[in-house]
Amino acid sequence: MPEPMPELVERLISGGLATRETVVGCTPDEVAEIRSGHGVERLPEQYEEFLLLMGRGAGELLRGTDFFYPGIRGLADDGRELLEENDAAHLLPPGAIVIGMHQGYELYWLAPSGELSWYVEAETEVSRTWPSLAEFLAAQIEAQQRLK
């Protein structure tokens, strides 16, 4: 079972990757803006929880990646464009929510099943998947702690 988002925040802080001041959540209005940008009434529960807890920033977590507000505004269109340009639009399942992009050539999305997919430009398949957003974030925290 994936770790709850508040526990991931505590791991960031205890691991020295963030402080309480650098973990900043989105406001409900900002979450509504993201929802609207995707044209949906509801975001996946884990993603909404992520946005409310750390959607504006989480210390060093995913630094350099558009994974936080306001950088994530417009990602739905940007992500579809990247996939279309690479003849990979078929990889994005109906109802998926684009949640991150790294320097215009890497894309992250959540499928309706909750699975998180990572795509790299010029590929014909998804590069990697995680069972959930929380498991992806836990893996990112572990990787960044090893680098530290």
| CA distances from residue 93 to 35, 76, 90 in whole angstroms, order as listed | 17, 13, 7
pLDDT at residue 148 in the model:
76
pLDDT at residue 147 in the model:
85
**CATH no. for residue 11?**
3.40.1580.10
Strand-pair partners of 108: 100, 118
- Tally Cβ neighbours within 10 Å of residue 84: 11
Strand-pair partners of 101: 66, 107
Domain region containing 17: 5-147
- List per-block mean pLDDT (blocks of 10 residues) for the chain, which spans 148 residues: 88 96 98 94 95 97 96 94 96 96 96 96 96 97 90
Using alpha carbons, select from 65, 64, 89, 90 the residue that is nearest to residue 77: 89
Count of structural domains within the chain? 1
pLDDT at residue 1 in the model:
66
pLDDT at residue 24 in the model:
98
- Tally Cβ neighbours within 10 Å of residue 57: 19
